[in-house]
Structures are given as structure tokens and as C-alpha cells.
């Protein structure tokens, strides 16, 4: 293992015309499968790993499975400013460009009853699942913006949706815990804000679905192939079902409003002083449909 940012270039290609993706937390589970699926599609793939040895091993394995693919590893701990900045420098210096950034790295944390959960239980979960994607997005956005079709993909969860977790027909409604679900709810909000703020970047939150991985002791009914499906769609499809989706289609971020919302045109849409209550950033109307 080395302590510097490392790359493994498993083919002779140093600059490509094929699209390039970086997947954080790509040494195991859904992230690894996503990296392999994109490699199979002919993408140049950066395997983000917080352990350089594991990253190089994963990149080599994927390259062996897909001999024509360009698979590289980059040291990247999403909780570490220096590591993330160095990873962005590495990708920039390699000249691959970046078309899809997949913020996949995530942790479940301790699953205990809400009344036994402490503030400390939130630290690692929020640090990885919420602050990690923000840190990584900040660092890679300049590279992403140079792409002709930039895609920012947040690997969220159905347990981050108020609508899904309150639907008794959904398995997600059976999970009762504080840090992990609320971290994914925060990530969903962050995703919708990036979508408003980044015209020209297609921003998606995706739910892999309940998938057998180390994260849940392999209790999920889905395979990692199924779990990676929506993420691969978010990276590579011409169009996506919506801002938040799983492999079956669009997912609701919130519950349906219980009463009609003010339209902004009549008296109901005005604040006490007669001023409009909603603010729509000017760029929203110019945003291209991606």
C-alpha cells in the first residue's frame, strides 16, 4: 500500500474519447459493481478507494473481466479534504476528463433504537454520507463542467424519502433508526439544491434498492447487479425517469401535499405584505432539459 495518491492504468490509453466516470467507494458492493458495469460499457472508470491497495486490486480485477476497458484507481477518502483534493488533481493530471461523478461511498453506522442513539452516532454517518458527497462534488465540479454531458449521481436510498418510509407497503417503512435514514434525506435535499444550482449538469439521486452487501450483512434480497442498475442508468442513459429514481422508475422525495398549495397568482400566493412568497432563481428557466 502507498500513502500517496496512486493510479492504476490497466490499458495503454492515457487520454480517451470515451466517457469517464469516477465512483467513490468502488472497492466493494454496489460501487464495485457500478464501476464494472461502466467498464463493460466501454467507459474509462476511476475506482475511488480509501485504501490504495484495495483500489488497485479492484481496478485490476475489473480490467481482467473487461480486457478492453480502461480502469484506474485513485486514492480517495470522502471524509478527508486533502485526500479528495489530491484525487481531483490526479484525475485532472491524467487527462481523462470526467463525465459522471458517482457519490457512492456510504456507511450505515450503528443501527440502534432512536432512544438509544447518541449525537456521536451521527458523526461518521453524516461525515461520510452527507459531507462526503459535498466535499467530493466541490472538488470535481470544475472537471465535470468541462464535460459535454456532465452527470452528478448521488447514491441515496429509499429510506431517505419521507414518502417511501411512511408507506406501509414499502420495506423501507420497517427501518427505524436516526442517523442513516436522515443522512439520506439530507442527501436528497442536497441533490435537489445542486440540481437547481448547476444548470447544464444532470443531477440525480438514485436508490439502489435493498441489496445484499456488507452494509446490511448481506440481508438485502437484490443482487449487486440489480443494485447498480439505477446508478448505471443515471450515468449513461440519454434520459432519466426523474430527479430521484430506482431501477423500477421514479420515486417520490416527499409526501403529496395534503392541501392545495398557493399558486403565487392569487391572494393565497402572496405573503402578508402582498409580496410573492416563492423565489425562483433566474437560471432555472434557462436550464436545459437533460
- Residues within the interface to ligand NAP (CB under 6 A): 24-25, 27-31, 50-51, 54, 76-79, 104-107, 128, 155, 157, 207-208, 210-211, 213-216, 220
C-alpha cell, 149: 454531458
Specify whether 289 is catalytic: no
From 57, 126, 184, 196, the catalytic residue: 184
Q: Please give the sequence-ordered ranges of beta strands (E in DSSP) within the chain, or none if there are none.
A: 20-23, 44-49, 70-75, 100-103, 151-155, 202-206, 244-246, 249-250
**73: helix, coil or strand?**
strand
Question: In this complex, which beta carbon is closest to ligand NAP, that of residue 123 or of residue 276?
Answer: 123
Specify whether 180 is catalytic: yes
Residue listed under C-alpha cell 419521507: 162
Q: How far is the CB of 144 from ligand NAP (least distance, A)?
A: 18
Residue listed under C-alpha cell 448521488: 154
Compute φ and ψ for 91, nearest 5 degrees: -65, -40
Q: How far is the CB of 24 from ligand NAP (least distance, A)?
A: 6
Q: How far is the CB of 204 from ligand NAP (least distance, A)?
A: 14
Task: Give the separation between CA 237 and CA 157, rounded to whole angstroms.
Answer: 20
Q: How far is the CB of 11 from ligand NAP (least distance, A)?
A: 23
Count other Cβ atoms within 10 Å, centred on residue 61: 17
Question: In this complex, which beta carbon is closest to ligand NAP, that of residue 234 or of residue 265?
Answer: 234
From 126, 180, 194, 210, the catalytic residue: 180
Cβ 244 vs Cβ 236: under 8 Å: no
Question: In this complex, which beta carbon is closest to ligand NAP, that of residue 149 or of residue 225?
Answer: 225
Question: In this complex, which beta carbon is closest to ligand NAP, that of residue 41 or of residue 171?
Answer: 171
Where in the sequence numbering do the catalytic residues fall? 180, 184
Amino acid at each position: 500500500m502507498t500513502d500517496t495518491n496512486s493510479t492504476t492504468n490497466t490499458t495503454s490509453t492515457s487520454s480517451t474519447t470515451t466517457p469517464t466516470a469516477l465512483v467513490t467507494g468502488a472497492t466493494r458492493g454496489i460501487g464495485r459493481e457500478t464501476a464494472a458495469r461502466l467498464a463493460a460499457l466501454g467507459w474509462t472508470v476511476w475506482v475511488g478507494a480509501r485504501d490504495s491497495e484495495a483500489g488497485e486490486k479492484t481496478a485490476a480485477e475489473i480490467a481482467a473481466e473487461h480486457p478492453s476497458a480502461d480502469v484506474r484507481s485513485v486514492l480517495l477518502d470522502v471524509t478527508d479534504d486533502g485526500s479528495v483534493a489530491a484525487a481531483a488533481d490526479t484525475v485532472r493530471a491524467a487527462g481523462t476528463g470526467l463525465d459522471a461523478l458517482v457519490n457512492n461511498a456510504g456507511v450505515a453506522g450503528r443501527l440502534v433504537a432512536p432512544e438509544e442513539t447518541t449525537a456521536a452516532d451521527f458523526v461518521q454517518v453524516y461525515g461520510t454520507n452527507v459531507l462526503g458527497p459535498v466535499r467530493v462534488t466541490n472538488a470535481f465540479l470544475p472537471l465535470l463542467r468541462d464535460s459535454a454531458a456532465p452527470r452528478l449521481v448521488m447514491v441515496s436510498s429509499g429510506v431517505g424519502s419521507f414518502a417511501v418510509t411512511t408507506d406501509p407497503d414499502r420495506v423501507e417503512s420497517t427501518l427505524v433508526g436516526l442517523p442513516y435514514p436522515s443522512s439520506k434525506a439530507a442527501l436528497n435535499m442536497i441533490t435537489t439544491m445542486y440540481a437547481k444550482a448547476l444548470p447544464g449538469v444532470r443531477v440525480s439521486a438514485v436508490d439502489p434498492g435493498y441489496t445484499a452487501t456488507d452494509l446490511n450483512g448481506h440481508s438485502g434480497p437484490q443482487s449487486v447487479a440489480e443494485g447498480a442498475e439505477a446508478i448505471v442508468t443515471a450515468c449513461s442513459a440519454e434520459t432519466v425517469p426523474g430527479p430521484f429514481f430506482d431501477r423500477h422508475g421514479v420515486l417520490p422525495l416527499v409526501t403529496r401535499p395534503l392541501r392545495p398549495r398557493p399558486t403565487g397568482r392569487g391572494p393565497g400566493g402572496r405573503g402578508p405584505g402582498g409580496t410573492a412568497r416563492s423565489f425562483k432563481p433566474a437560471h432555472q428557466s434557462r436550464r436545459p432539459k437533460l
